[in-house]
Amino acid sequence: MSLPLKEMRRRPSRFIVATVVLSFLATLLMFLGGLLDGLYLGSTGAIRSQQGDAIVFSSSALDSFIRSRITADDRAAVESAPGVEEVGGIGFALLGATVPAQADLVDVAVAGYELPPRGVPEPPPDFEGIADTRLEDQGVRKGDTLLVGPASVPITVVGFVDDTSYLLQGSLWVNLTTWREVQNQNRPDAAVADDIVQALVVRGSGDLPASIDAATAGATHTLSLDDAVLAIPGVKQQRDTFNQIIYTTLFVVLAVVGLFFSLLTLERLGLYGVLKAIGASTKRLFSGVVLQAVFVAIVAFVIGSLLSIAAAAALPVEVPLQLTPARFLSTFIGLLVAAVLGSAISLRRVTKVDPASAIGTAS
Amino acid sequence: MTVLDMRDVRKVYNSGGDDIVALDHATVQVDHGEIVALLGPSGSGKTTLLSIAGGLLTATEGSVVVGGHDISGYNAKQLTDFRRNNVGFVFQAVNLVPFLTAEENLLVVDELGGGKGGKQSKGRARQLLDELGLGHRLKNLPAQLSGGERQRVAIGRALFNNPKLVLFDEPTSALDTKIGEQVMELIQAEMKARDTAAIIVTHDTRMTHYADRTVHIVDGRLDAGSVTA
Amino acid sequence: MFLAYHEMRRAKIRFGLLAGAVGLLVFLILFQQALLGGLINQFVGALKNQSADVLVYSDRARQNIEASFIFPDQLAQVQQLEGVSAASPLGEGTFTVLAGGKQQNAVIFGYEIGQPGQPTNVVEGRMVDADDEAVASEKDRAEGFDIGDVVQVMPDGVKVTIVGLARNSNFSVTPVLFTHYATFESAKKTKNPDAEFIVPSAIAVSVGPGHTAQEVVDRINAKVDGVEALTRQQAVDGAPGVSSVRASFAIILGLFYLVVPLVTGLFFLIVTFQKASALTLLRAIGAKSSTLVVSLLVQVVAITLVGSVIAFGLYAASLQSVKNLGVHVEIGPVIVTSLVVLALALLTSLIAVRRVLKLDPLSATTGAGVQV
C-alpha cells in the first residue's frame, strides 16, 4: 500500500471529518439530481414513450396538449404531407379518480391514443384502460374500475405500463372514444366533438415539422418528439434551476476539499521537505494529495448514495425523487472532478517546499 | 578515490538587493570511507556547503562532482533523481514519516523511486535495521521509539540505497551525550564497513574525534582540513 | 482582535477558502429559500393573494381548482349558510392570449366585482371596474401585461386592458389576469365554441364577523353535497405540487444547514490543533484563556460575515437569472439566514474553544515541540 493510503489508515481522524462533510454534500447532490430526474421523468413519460417522430399541435395552443385542438380537416392535411407515414390522434384529461375501497382520490391523466406508446398494446375496448405503474404504487390494481372525474366515468384497468406518466400524474391509456367521454362529461365547458383530438403523433421521415406545417398552411405547429418533451410546462425551467444548484453545490465540494487539504498540506510542510531531500519529486507528493482527495470523494459518494437511497425509501410517494444509474454516474464524476480540482489548490504549496529546508532546521 | 570533489564553489544569496556570500571559493574533497566533520558557528555557511554537496542547492560558481556525476549544471528534476540514487541524508529532528513503521521508513526510499517494496527490498530493510540493533523494532512507529533509536532508523534510511556519500546534519543535537556518542560510533562503524564517504555537520567538538578529518568553516571560508583520527 | 486579524491576514488562502465555502453554502440556502417562495407564488400566488377567506371546490377536484366546477344549486346552498357574508362564483381557466404581440398562456381568474376573490396585492394601478379591464400579475409586465397593454383571448375573443398589477400573484407558473366574472365567461366561450354552458370553477366566500374561516369550512362541508371547502391557506397548501415542493425543499435546506456548521466547526478545530503549540506559548507568556477564546470567536464571526456578504452578492446576481420566477431581493431573509448560520457556526466552534481552554501553559516549557 502506498504512502498516502497508509496515512489515511493510520491517522484516520482528520479524513473522517472531511468524509462526513463530503458525504452530506454527496447526499445533497444525489437528492437534488434525483428530484430533478423525478420531476423530469414523471412529467414527460407520456411523451417520451411515444413511438413517433413528431407531435402536431394546433398553432394557437402554444405546444400545450390541454389547449390544442386538431380538426378532421387539419388531420387530413397532415396525413397528406410529404414524409408522413402514420398519424395517430392523442388527447389528455387531468382529473381525480376514485379507486375501489380507497378513501382518497388519485390523480390520473386519462390519455386517449391511436398509435400505441412503448409498452402499451393497441387501444383497448371502450371504458377499459392500461394504467401507468405510478397508479399501481397508489393502490390501483388490475381489474379495478376507476371512477374518473366529478362525473364518475368508469374505466376498468386491464393492464400496467411503466414510465408513461404526464405532469406527475399516472396515465390511464384509453381509446379516443373513452377519452372524449371523460372529457365531455367532466368538462362540459371544454367538450370535444367526435372527430377532434388534441394533438397528433406522426411517424415518418424527412423534415416533418416543416412539411406538416406547410401542408396545413400554418394551422398547426409541429415539434420533434424531443422538442415536445421540453415544451411540457416547467420542464426546461426546472432543469435549468436545479442544474444551477447542483453546479454550485459542486463548487462547495471543491472549496471544502481545497480547504481541508490545504490545512493538511500545511501540517506536512516539514515532512515534505525531508521527502523531497531524499529524492521525492513534487509530482509524486502532489499525486499523493490527489489520491487522498479522490479516495475521500469515493467514500463520500458511497455513503451519500446509501443515504439518498434510504431517504428515497423513507419519503412519502408524493416527493418525486427518482434515483437513476445515470445520476449516480454523473454525481460520481462531479465529485471526482471537484475533489481533484479542490486538491489542486495545494499544488502551489507543495511545489514551493524547498528540499534544502530539511537541512538546518531543528524542528 | 574521491567521492565528493567540490572546487572553487561560491554561493551568493540575494537578500533585499544586497548580495550575501554564503560560501566563498570552497574547495573540499572526500574519499571513499572517509568521514569529514564540518565544524563552524551558526551562519558560517556549513548548511549551505552540505546542501550543495547533497544536490539540495546549486552553486553560483564552481564545480561539484559526486561519485563521478558532475551535478553543477543539473536542473531540479535531475537533482531529485540524483539525490534519490546517490546520496543519503540524516537530518536533525524532522526525519521520519510519523505514520510509518521503522521498516516502512526505510522502504519509503524504494517507493519514492517507483519501486514496489518487494521481498528483496523488505529483506534489505530488515537486514539494515538488524545491523543497527533495531531488529526487534521493525513494526514500531517513530513515536514509540527513543530519540537514539529514531536517529538509527534515519541512518538505516540514508544507507538503504547504497549511497556513495552520506550527509549528516547535526545528527546528535537532539540527543544527550551518551546516546549521541553511541550514534556517532554507529555512524563510524557503518561508514567504514561500507567504505562510504560522509560529511557530518556539527558544532559539538566532543563528536569530532569520530571523524577522520575536521574542516572548519567561518564566514563561508574553509580552513585546511587536519586529520584528527 | 489583534491576534485574530493578523492570523487571518497571514493565511489568506485558508480563511478565504473557508469564507468562500460558507458564502456558497449560505447563498445556496438563500437561493433555495427564494426558489421555494418563488415556486409557491408561481404555483398558487393568485390563490394566496386574493380576498376570499374560504374557497369551495367540487369534491372530486382533489383540491385542484383546474379540475373543479360548481353547479348553481351548490352556490345557492353555500350562500344560505350561517357565517357566510358573501359567496360568489370564481372562474379559473388557462387560455391562449395575444399579449405583447405574441401568443402566450394566461390564467384568467374571474370574480364578481365587489365580491370576494379580488386580488389583494395590487402594487400599481387600480382594481377592475368594467368587463374590459384586468389586473395582471406584476412579474409578467414586460411580456405585454403592463398597465395600458391590451390583451386578447385567442382566437379572436374578448379584449381586456390592464389597469393594475398584483405582486406574487401567478398561477401554475403562468401569467394571471384578474377579470370580472363575465369576462371569464366570454373567454371560455371563445376557447371552446362547443361548450354547452359555462360553470364557475369554485365559490369564493367571505366569512362574516364573529365567525372563523375554519368554522365556515366545516359547516359547508357538512351541509353541501359534492363540494370541498378549504380555507385560503388550506387551498394554497393543498394545491397540486405545493406540498411535494415543500417536502423536497425541507430536506434539501435541512442538509445545507447541517453542512455549514460542520465545515466551520471542522476548520476551526483543525486550525486550533495546528497552532496548539503557538497558543500554549502565548498562554505561557501570559495571555489569558479568554483572550485566545475571544480571538477564535472573532474569526468565526468575521468568516460568517464575509461569507454572508459573498452569499448576498451571489444571491442578488443569481436572482437575475431566475427572473422569470418573479423573486425579489429581500434583505430580511438574508439577515435571518446569516444569523442562523452564525449561531450554528459558533455552536460547533465550541469544540475548538474547549480545546483552547484545555491548553496547559506549563507544557510550553517541557519542549513538547510541534507535532508533525
Q: What is the pLDDT of residues A275-294, one digit of tens each?
A: 999 888 899 999 999 999 99
**Residues of chain A with pLDDT > 90: what percent?**
59
Beta-sheet pairing, C122-125 with C54-58: unpaired
Set of cell numbers at residue A304: 451519500
pLDDT, tens digit (0-9, with 9 covering 90-100), for C317-329: 887 766 666 667 7
Closest CA to C170 of C368, C6, C365, C324: C324
Q: Note the pLDDT of residue B92.
A: 81
Residue in chain A nearest B57 by alpha carbon? A356
Closest CA to C189 of C108, C117, C306, C102: C108
The shortest C-alpha distance from C330 to chain A (Å) reads 20
In the numeric block, the cell 442538509 is attached to C255
ipTM score for this prediction: 0.87
Sign of torsion, CA C120 C123 C126 C131?
negative
Residue B99 in contact with partner chain C when CB distance is under 8 A: no
Say whether A192 and C321 touch across the interface (CB within 8 A): no
Judging contacts by C-beta atoms under 8 Å, the chain A residues touching residue C25 are: 252
Q: Is residue A129 predicted with pLDDT exceeding 50?
A: yes
The mean pLDDT of C123-148, rounded to a whole number, is: 91
In whole angstroms, give the CA distance from residue C175 to residue C137.
Answer: 6
Per-residue pLDDT tens digits of chain B, which is 229 residues long: 789 999 999 998 887 778 888 888 889 999 999 999 998 888 888 888 999 999 998 899 999 999 889 998 899 889 999 998 899 999 887 688 989 999 999 998 888 877 766 788 889 999 999 988 899 999 999 999 988 899 999 999 999 988 999 999 988 887 888 888 888 999 999 999 999 999 999 878 878 889 999 998 888 888 755 444 4
The shortest C-alpha distance from C368 to chain A (Å) reads 11
Question: With a CB-CB cutoff of 8 Å, which residues 275-294 of chain C face chain B?
Answer: none
Q: What Rg do the C-alpha atoms of chain C give, in angstroms? A: 29
Q: Is A164 helix (H, G, I), strand (E, B) or coil?
A: coil
The mean pLDDT of A221-248, rounded to a whole number, is: 87
Residue in chain C nearest B143 by alpha carbon? C371
Residue A284 in contact with partner chain B when CB distance is under 8 A: yes
Q: Is residue A58 predicted with pLDDT exceeding 70?
A: yes
In whole angstroms, give the CA distance from residue C44 to residue C239.
Answer: 7
In whole angstroms, give the CA distance from residue A141 to residue A132.
Answer: 11
End-to-end CA distance of chain B: 19
Residue A225 in contact with partner chain C when CB distance is under 8 A: no
What confidence category does residue A316 fall into, taking pLDDT thresholds of 50, 70 and 90? confident
Q: Note the pLDDT of residue C326.
A: 63
In the numeric block, the cell 553560483 is attached to B60
For A34, residues 6+ apart whose C-beta sits below 8 A from its C-beta are A308, A312, A321, A322, A323, A324, A327
Residue C367 in contact with partner chain B when CB distance is under 8 A: no
Q: How many residues does chain A have?
A: 363
Q: Is residue A174 predicted with pLDDT exceeding 90?
A: yes
In whole angstroms, give the CA distance from residue C140 to residue C147.
Answer: 11
Q: Is residue C33 predicted with pLDDT exceeding 70?
A: yes
Residue A80 in contact with partner chain B when CB distance is under 8 A: no
Say whether C14 and A192 touch across the interface (CB within 8 A): no
Residue C6 in contact with partner chain A when CB distance is under 8 A: no
In whole angstroms, give the CA distance from residue C205 to residue C216.
Answer: 9
Q: Which amino acid is at B151?
A: Q
The mean pLDDT of C46-73, rounded to a whole number, is: 88
The number of angstroms, rounded, from the C-alpha of C13 to the middle of its chain's C-alpha atoms is 35
What confidence category does residue A300 fall into, taking pLDDT thresholds of 50, 70 and 90? very high
Judging contacts by C-beta atoms under 8 Å, the chain B residues touching residue C372 are: 94, 98
pLDDT, tens digit (0-9, with 9 covering 90-100), for C202-243: 999 999 898 999 999 999 999 888 899 999 999 998 887 787
What confidence category does residue C371 fall into, taking pLDDT thresholds of 50, 70 and 90? very low
Say whether B89 and A281 touch across the interface (CB within 8 A): no
In whole angstroms, give the CA distance from residue B125 to residue C287.
Answer: 48
Q: Smallest Cβ distance to A234: which of C18, C68, C173?
A: C173
Closest CA to C160 of C175, C149, C174: C149
Q: Smallest Cβ distance to A6: which of B47, B99, B109?
A: B99
Q: Smallest Cβ distance to C248: which of A35, A258, A259?
A: A35
Q: Note the pLDDT of residue C370.
A: 38
Q: Smallest Cβ distance to A60: which of C25, C31, C96?
A: C96
In whole angstroms, give the CA distance from residue B138 to residue B144.
Answer: 11
pLDDT, tens digit (0-9, with 9 covering 90-100), for A11-31: 888 899 889 989 999 999 999
Residue C171 CB burial class (10 angstroms; 0-12, 13-18, ≥19):
buried
Neighbours of chain A (3+ CB pairs under 8 A): B, C
| Mean per-residue pLDDT over chain C, rounded | 85
Question: With a CB-CB cutoff of 8 Å, which residues 235-254 of chain C face chain A?
Answer: 240-241, 243-244, 247-248, 251-252
Mutate to test the interface with A, among B78, B87, B159, B169 (most CBs of A within 10 A): B169
In whole angstroms, give the CA distance from residue C280 to residue A168.
Answer: 61
Say whether B94 and A276 touch across the interface (CB within 8 A): no
The mean pLDDT of A183-190, rounded to a whole number, is: 80
Judging contacts by C-beta atoms under 8 Å, the chain B residues touching residue C369 are: 93
Set of cell numbers at residue B107: 522502504
Residue C271 in contact with partner chain A when CB distance is under 8 A: yes
Judging contacts by C-beta atoms under 8 Å, the chain A residues touching residue B57 are: 356
In whole angstroms, give the CA distance from residue A1 to residue B61.
Answer: 43
The mean pLDDT of C241-258, rounded to a whole number, is: 82
The shortest C-alpha distance from A235 to chain C (Å) reads 11
Q: What Rg do the C-alpha atoms of chain A give, in angstroms? A: 29
The shortest C-alpha distance from A268 to chain C (Å) reads 7
Residue B93 in contact with partner chain C when CB distance is under 8 A: yes
Residue C351 in contact with partner chain A when CB distance is under 8 A: no
Higher pLDDT among residues B43 and A199, named by residue: A199
Judging contacts by C-beta atoms under 8 Å, the chain C residues touching residue B94 are: 372
Q: What angle do CA B80, B81, B86 make, to 5 degrees?
A: 105
In the numeric block, the cell 392570449 is attached to C97
Say whether C173 and A237 touch across the interface (CB within 8 A): yes
Q: How many helices (H) and strands (E) does chain C have?
A: 10, 10
pLDDT, tens digit (0-9, with 9 covering 90-100), for C344-369: 888 888 888 888 888 777 665 544 43
Q: Smallest Cβ distance to A105: which of C62, C270, C322?
A: C62
Q: Note the pLDDT of residue C365.
A: 52
Q: Rounded to the nearest 5°, which phi and psi values hold at A345?
A: -60, -25
Alpha-helix residue ranges (DSSP H) falling in chain A? 3-10, 12-48, 72-79, 133-137, 176-186, 208-215, 225-230, 235-267, 269-277, 282-314, 325-344, 347-352
- Helix (H) or strand (E) holding A318, with range, is none
Q: What angle do CA A72, A74, A76 make, to 5 degrees?
A: 70
Judging contacts by C-beta atoms under 8 Å, the chain C residues touching residue A189 are: 69, 188, 192, 195-199
Mutate to test the interface with A, among C266, C322, C349, C370 (most CBs of A within 10 A): C266
The mean pLDDT of C141-154, rounded to a whole number, is: 90
In the numeric block, the cell 483543525 is attached to C270
Q: Is residue A171 predicted with pLDDT exceeding 80?
A: yes
Other residues' Cβ atoms within 10 Å of the Cβ of residue C366: 8
In whole angstroms, give the CA distance from residue A279 to residue A360.
Answer: 18
The upper half-sphere exposure of residue A11, i.e. CA atoms within 13 Å in the direction of its Cβ, equals 12
Ranges A104-108, A268-272, B119-123: which has the least confidence: A104-108
Say whether C61 and A345 touch across the interface (CB within 8 A): no
What confidence category does residue C337 fall into, taking pLDDT thresholds of 50, 70 and 90? confident
| Mean per-residue pLDDT over chain A, rounded | 90
Alpha-helix residue ranges (DSSP H) falling in chain B? 46-53, 76-86, 102-112, 119-131, 147-159, 177-194
Say whether C271 and A263 touch across the interface (CB within 8 A): yes
Q: Note the pLDDT of residue C230.
A: 93
Q: What angle do CA A44, A46, A51 make, to 5 degrees?
A: 115
Task: List, edge to edge, every strand of the sheet that includes B69-70.
Answer: B18-31, B2-15, B61-66, B69-70
In whole angstroms, give the CA distance from residue A255 to residue A261.
Answer: 10
In whole angstroms, give the CA distance from residue A161 to residue A208.
Answer: 28
Q: Note the pLDDT of residue C296.
A: 86
Q: Note the pLDDT of residue C317.
A: 84
The mean pLDDT of A36-51, rounded to a whole number, is: 92
Question: With a CB-CB cutoff of 8 Å, which residues 318-347 of chain A face chain C?
Answer: 318-321, 345
pLDDT, tens digit (0-9, with 9 covering 90-100), for C78-96: 998 888 999 999 999 888 7
Alpha-helix residue ranges (DSSP H) falling in A187-222? 208-215
Set of cell numbers at residue B119: 521481498
- Count contacts between B and C (CB, < 8 Å): 4
- Residue A197 near residue A89 (C-beta atoms within 8 A): yes
Ranges A4-13, A148-157, A178-187, C278-287: which has the least confidence: C278-287
The mean pLDDT of A173-191, rounded to a whole number, is: 88
Angle subtended by helix axes C289-321 and C2-10, to nearest 10: 50
Higher pLDDT among residues C8 and C297, named by residue: C297
Say whether A279 and B95 touch across the interface (CB within 8 A): no
Higher pLDDT among residues C62 and A181, named by residue: A181
pLDDT, tens digit (0-9, with 9 covering 90-100), for C264-293: 888 888 888 877 778 888 888 877 888 888
Residue A277 in contact with partner chain B when CB distance is under 8 A: yes
In whole angstroms, give the CA distance from residue A160 to residue A165.
Answer: 12
Q: Note the pLDDT of residue C1.
A: 63
Q: Which amino acid is at A302?
A: V
In whole angstroms, give the CA distance from residue C268 to residue C8.
Answer: 12
